[in-house]
Amino acid sequence: MNSKYRLGIDAGGTFTDFVLAERAGGSRLYKALSTPSDPTLAIRNGLGLIAEDLGVDLEEIIPNCDLCINGTTVGLNALIQHKGARTGLICTAGHEDSIEIRNGHKEDGYRYDAEYPPAVMLVPRNLRKGVRERVLSNGTIRTPINEEDVRAACRAFIEEGIESVAISFVWSVLQPEHERRAAEIVREMMPDVPLTLGSDLYPQVREYTRTSTAITNAYLAPILKRYVTAVDAYFRSLGATSPVRYFQSNGGLAIGQLMADRSVYAINSGPASAPKAGLHVCAPFEDQNVITVDMGGTSFDITLTHEGVTNLNKNIDFLRYRIGVPMIQVETLGAGGGSIGWIDDMGLLQMGPQSAGSDPGPACYGRGGTEPTTTDVNLVLGYLCPGGLVGGRLPLDRAKAEEAIRSRIAEPLNISLEKAAYGMFTIVNANMVNGIRRVSIERGYDPRDFVLVCAGGATGAHISAIAREMGISRIIVPKLASGLCAFGQIISDVKYNHMATCPVRLDNDEAYARVNGLFRQLEEDGTRQLRQDGFTDENIRITRSLEMRYLGQVHECTVEVDSFDITAETVERLKDAFHRRHEQLYTYAEPASTVEVVNIESTLYGVVGKPDDAVLSKGGDSDGALKGTRMAIFSSSGEFTRTPVYDGTRLGAGDHITGPAIIEETTTTIVVEPGWAAELHESGSYVLQRQHQG
Amino acid sequence: MEQTVGKPERSQQAKIDPITLSVVRGILETTQREMTLSLEKTARSSVFNLAHDYSTALFNATPEMILQGQDIPIHLGSLIPAMKVIADYFGDDIHEGDLILHNDPAYGGSHAIDTCMYKPVFYEGKLVYWTVCKGHLTDIGGPVPAGYNPEAKEIYAECLRIPPVKIWDRGKPRHDVLNMILTNMRARRDQEGDFNALIGACQVGERNLIRMLEKYGAEQVDACVDELLAMAERQMRSLIRTVPDGTYEGTAVLEDAGHGFGDFDITAKVTIEDDSCHIEISSPPQIPYFINSYEGNSYSGVYLGLMMFAQLPPPYNEGLYRCVSVNMGPKGTLCNAQEPAPHMNCTTTPMETLTDAVRLAFEKAMPSKVAASWGHANGLNIAGWDTRHDEEYVTMVLATIISGAGATPQQDGWHACGPECCFGALTSGDVELLEHSYPIIIHRYSLMTDSGGAGLYRGGSGTAWEVEPLDSDMTFIMFGEGRRLPALGAAGAGSQMTDTKVGRLELKRDGKVETIRDNTIGVIKPGETVTNMNPGGGGYGDPMQRPVDKVLADVKLGLVSLEGARRDYGVVIEDAGSLRVDLDATRKLRAA
């Protein structure tokens, strides 16, 4: 392929990032304000910037891209704000409430207070319709489906203006016939309504997980469908040579049709590319323990990679909804450049989780915002250039920032403007530190064993303060930090999870044949799909995993294996892998006990070639990049320190800067606190090292 | 008989690195969570792996509980005295590689089916910690499957009693002892698997703790642990300081669930003095029925009442209780039972009534802070023959006791997250996983209309669980109470329509429905079903003050019936189709 470019577009709460990578090496980053009410508008605006910058028409750029990749937050936003489609559920009579009983569980220990209400139901009780039908645990039909019940449900749905329907029956995973029949009836009566079947979407044992996953999917499907239809059409109109790929929460790419059908795979896709990007920028330093932190306008996302491996979660609660399908583990909190500072009932200063977003945005944007935000704080502390963000495209108004902090925080607390600003800075940092603790310390990892990788436009101002609080001594800040997730997307592969349930004891030839047959079928289906998408066999990679357990156990261990036929001989390899995994996790194995398989999964990758990395030319003297000095605050005393400011775009490989200092890149500003030093590496990343323990 | 658990200790002023303190706290919490996860993932018994009816904790060498897991509250309070009894019993005969098993209530246990495993953790030859877990097995021997025997007059007729016994001695398993124990239990394969799971969990804990000591050194870790205990103590003391000094009394009524001895009063007298709190319990003499609570179990009930009120953030450890002293009343009473009192039902009955009594006393002290009572446990055990695998099955069905939570001064109670003694920590288990494990068909698992207690804030709904055996006879064994007295409301809440608020069992046979309210053992065949219904939570505040639109929303969702709206809330709705509120009639009814 002789395409010149690859394009990655990552929509965040405030900015949409555009990374245009050249095949020959080197990437350009562009940013446009996100437009949540019409997400495709931000894409148009951003592409306009690219065309303007390169001085050519989009019709020349887009056809020259081998891939255009888009990470979208439309699904996530709809789920957070409970603004998904009006959804109805058709389920087994008697089990309408399993989604609200939620396994009878309250997540949070002894806690039972006013700030901890029950989860909001995506499908309220009156829109969950039971159908008389029943499949038993051995897969046989005990009660045939009552079709009139399905029709009655549809009539009620039509009357209620239902926009999307989920169907999930008990044991449909063993016998999908009833779900399929119900689907036919729904299609007949509600031909335009998207339909999600539990047995299609998540064919694994566990009714509650399957139903919840199906409901979440149905709730988001119309929204994702609207979105990908618009984006696909726009890129086609620009002459795109292959379909737009969308980034999924499993860390891989998918085409638009699949994204619309399996919209639950979209819910946390934005930050899911961070681990891949984090490992990539750390590769020159051979760091395999990486924490990525990404502070955008609205939220702060954290991922942790230990010894090169990032956890993939299945069957977890996400935003309090049980999701079965695999997702990269991401911790998200409401702390961003737009997070608003406020004073609570007890007179304590708080930051977020409310955000000024991009409209009106922080007070200093001068778009009518009057609430003091993190960005206003960074401006008043002297960290940000008053000349503006994004290379001056977004000028900042210091007077408005000061006024917001003074009137909302400093005066009510009766402290100076500078002290108020540093206090707000400290609190937003503490919130982020607590988030990092949750993914590291609370899971048994010592953050001091990790490198902190800085992603997101707003993170650079906080990164050395966060590292200081966590006791972390090494930070990597890529020049592309602000668009790191978009960059992670363009180095990712197409990835589809294909699952099946297959409860057999591993002690007979019939069982082996069944597992082999199912794997083959999953992989044939998956391969066909990837071939249609233009992949050839040498670019298709397949991994297998089996969920196994000892007879009588109810939960499974996931065992990853390579592709081989299971026979009376090779089954020992499988069992050994399981015994080893069990012992590794739980300290013991029971080699004499019978082993059974429950669920199987094949992951199919369509491997895409990666653009080359650029190499920075050697620098010489960092003084050449010195732009001037700015008064900045680095302590709670609120005192100003004269601080050198460097133009990052004029620094070369090997250039060294000692803190306190501020490095201004086009789309991010890095604050090097006193006690830290930064060095620019030829791969295009700054390495910040702590100089002494303090 | 007065006891203060742990001794008050001032915080160590030795300089502790705040990051290391956070790390140590995180490792302890993670260790406990990993032990819990390990139990859940490896256990055979559905009571463990589906229902989370187990708990784990960490102790130091003293032994003080240094981390109280956020598992089942009823298990954890009792682990504090039990651990001390175990350590005393073996004295200096505790060695690296020992594993101690115990279930007996006369040695600080809760009920004997909750079996505890204790592993002393040694570092550089010295006893440093104990990793402990406790789990509800599916069977513990005795005449009735699953341990609950309403006919028992003595503890000897309930179960196999296991006083503290070493099942591993210096790293060597004592197969003869284990075999003796397992020989006395039904469904041996499951029990054996569950012992392995308990041992595995203790080892997971040990592995993490040793790693922590290797990294941070015993001295530094000890200082951090002491500080964590002191932090919890400071939190509890400053909370108690906000409660006005004085003595407050709460009395809750324990209903007669079929034993024929009548209703009983359980009273808690709470005395607050500055930053400390003394709780005195009085209860009637013990009875020859399985609802007597030995002292260890009663600690759980008292501590839960306190924690429901306190709503403190973590860390949770024994430091919380340093300023709390408890007198459980004279030996030989319902809440301080002694041999040979039968006891198997005690973790729910009378425990939840004891918790209510403590809660009521605190309601008097600070009515604006307390939540209403949660639905009490009233559930089923099932047993029979599994023809699919040609083996016996027996289990407690925790899905049957998932009741409604109490309302608070700020919001409606949660649906389906009780019972009170578990405070949301149990899980019901997935319907498919239960049907996979046992030869049953679950026809219904749903919220129940009109079950939440009426109030300005409504109590959460209870649940109904209907089961039919797949292909052979099934024994069902009822336990618990809450079938006559609804969950207590708070701050003036109360329901007119009480028959739907309480628990009961419906037996459907030959087209007839029989309602059972006493603890009973019965047998059903394929084609017949039993439906266990359990109570909703109590309401908070005057139901006549509940906004009409909220009542209407509940009606629309099927949580409250038209009759319930009228009787409990004084809201008159014309018909189910239009859902139009008759405002005039409503005003009159509410004013009456």
Closest residue to A97, CB basis, from B190, B446, B556: B446
Distance CA A169, CA A176 (A): 8
What residues of chain A lie within 8 A of the CB of B316, using their CB?
A: 109-110
Inter-chain contact B193–A552, Cβ cutoff 8 Å? yes
Structure tokens at A619: 């620098």
**CA-based nearest distance A272→chain B, Å:** 24
Q: Which residues pair with A19 in a beta bridge?
A: A8, A29
pLDDT tens, residue by residue, B510-549: 999 999 999 999 999 999 999 999 999 999 999 999 999 9
Tell the burial category of A192 from Cβ atoms under 10 Å away from its Cβ (0-12, 13-18, 19+).
exposed
- B417, B463, B559, B579: best mutation site toward chain A, by most A Cβ within 10 Å? B417
Question: In chain A, positions 130-189, which contact chain B (CB-CB < 8 Å)?
Answer: 134, 136-138, 142, 170-171, 173
Inter-chain contact B433–A554, Cβ cutoff 8 Å? yes
Q: What are phi and psi of A561, to 5 degrees?
A: -135, 160
Contacts of A543 (CB under 8 A, 6+ apart): A560, A562, A602, A603, A605
Q: What's residue A38's pLDDT?
A: 86
pLDDT tens, residue by residue, B229-248: 999 999 999 999 999 999 99
Phi-psi region of A89 (alpha: psi -120 to 50; beta: other; left: phi over 0): beta
The single-letter code of the amino acid at A236 is R
Distance CA A502, CA A139 (A): 12
Tell the burial category of B380 from Cβ atoms under 10 Å away from its Cβ (0-12, 13-18, 19+).
buried
Q: What's residue B360's pLDDT?
A: 95
Q: What's residue B3's pLDDT?
A: 41
pLDDT tens, residue by residue, A380-409: 999 998 876 655 667 899 999 999 999 999
Task: State the average pLDDT for chain A.
Answer: 91
Span B465-478, average pLDDT:
97
Domain range list for chain B: 3-236, 371-546, 547-592
What residues of chain B lie within 8 A of the CB of A96, using their CB?
A: 446
Q: What's residue B18's pLDDT?
A: 65
Q: Which residue has the higher pLDDT, B509 or B30?
A: B509
Distance CA A583, CA A577 (A): 10
**CA-based nearest distance A298→chain B, Å:** 27
Inter-chain contact B441–A134, Cβ cutoff 8 Å? yes
Tell the burial category of A251 from Cβ atoms under 10 Å away from its Cβ (0-12, 13-18, 19+).
buried
Q: What's residue B5's pLDDT?
A: 42
Return the axis-axis angle of helices B351-365 and B295-310, rounded to nearest 10°. 40
The pTM assigned to this predicted structure is 0.89
What residues of chain A lie within 8 A of the CB of B196, using their CB?
A: 588, 590
Residue A127 reports pLDDT greater than 90? yes
Q: What are phi and psi of B425, to 5 degrees?
A: -80, -20
User: Can you point out the beta strands (E) in B78-195?
Assistant: 99-102, 114-123, 126-136, 165-169, 172-173
Q: What's residue B477's pLDDT?
A: 94
- Closest to A406 measured CA to CA, from A377, A449, A366, A438: A377
Please answer whether residues A51 and A63 qualify as being in contact, where contact means their C-beta atoms are separated by less than 8 angstroms: no
Residue A613 reports pLDDT greater than 80? no
Inter-chain contact A470–B19, Cβ cutoff 8 Å? yes
What residues of chain B lie within 8 A of the CB of A440, using their CB?
A: 26
Distance CA B186, CA B394 (A): 8
Distance CA B202, CA B32 (A): 10
B314 Cα distance to chain centroid? 19
pLDDT tens, residue by residue, B354-384: 999 999 999 999 988 888 999 999 999 999 9
* pLDDT band of A163, cuts 50, 70, 90: very high
DSSP A370: -
Q: What's residue A615's pLDDT?
A: 83
Please answer whether residues A374 and A332 qualify as being in contact, where contact means their C-beta atoms are separated by less than 8 angstroms: no
Q: What are phi and psi of B546, to 5 degrees?
A: -65, 130
Number of alpha carbons in the 13 Å side-chain half-sphere of residue A306: 13
pLDDT tens, residue by residue, B429-452: 899 999 988 999 999 999 999 999
Could you please report the per-residue DSSP string of B448-459? Answer: -TT-SPPSSBPP
Distance CA A128, CA B558 (A): 11
DSSP A463: H
Could you please report the per-residue DSSP string of A51-112? Answer: HHHHTS-HHHHGGGEEEEEEE--HHHHHHHTT----EEEEEETT-TTHHHHGGG--SSTT--
Span B145-152, average pLDDT:
90
Please answer whether residues A301 and A332 qualify as being in contact, where contact means their C-beta atoms are separated by less than 8 angstroms: yes
Contact status of A104 with chain B (Cβ, < 8 Å): yes
Q: Which residue has the higher pLDDT, B5 or A495?
A: A495
Q: What are phi and psi of B584, to 5 degrees?
A: -60, -50
C-alpha distance from residue A462 to each of A380, A432, B381 (Å): 14, 10, 56
DSSP alpha helix (H) spans, B521-571: 548-556, 562-569
Q: Which residue has the tokens 């888009």?
A: A70
Q: What's residue A473's pLDDT?
A: 94
* pLDDT band of B15, cuts 50, 70, 90: low
Span A655-684, average pLDDT:
94
Return the axis-axis angle of helices A398-405 and A417-439, rounded to nearest 10°. 80
On whether the A83-217 domain is CATH 3.40.1360, my answer is yes
DSSP B573: B
Q: What's residue A25's pLDDT?
A: 77
User: Can you point out the beta strands (E) in B47-188?
Assistant: 54-60, 65-68, 99-102, 114-123, 126-136, 165-169, 172-173
Inter-chain contact A553–B402, Cβ cutoff 8 Å? no
Inter-chain contact B402–A582, Cβ cutoff 8 Å? no
Inter-chain contact B30–A444, Cβ cutoff 8 Å? yes
* pLDDT band of A292, cuts 50, 70, 90: very high
Q: Any idea which fold A5-78+225-269 has? A: Nucleotidyltransferase; domain 5 (3.30.420)
Distance CA B336, CA B358 (A): 16
The single-letter code of the amino acid at B456 is L
Contact status of A118 with chain B (Cβ, < 8 Å): yes
DSSP B230: H
Phi-psi region of A84 (alpha: psi -120 to 50; beta: other; left: phi over 0): beta
Return the axis-axis angle of helices B218-241 and B18-42, rounded to nearest 10°. 90
The single-letter code of the amino acid at B347 is T
Residue A554 reports pLDDT greater than 90? no
B380 Cα distance to chain centroid? 15
DSSP B510: T
Q: Which residue has the higher pLDDT, A136 or A533?
A: A136
Please answer whether residues B271 and B265 qualify as being in contact, where contact means their C-beta atoms are separated by less than 8 angstroms: no
Domain range list for chain A: 5-78+225-269, 83-217, 501-511+528-606, 622-672
Q: Which residue has the higher pLDDT, A553 or A256?
A: A256
Distance CA A523, CA A562 (A): 13
- Closest to A319 measured CA to CA, from A389, A220, A387, A238: A220
DSSP alpha helix (H) spans, B421-504: 431-437
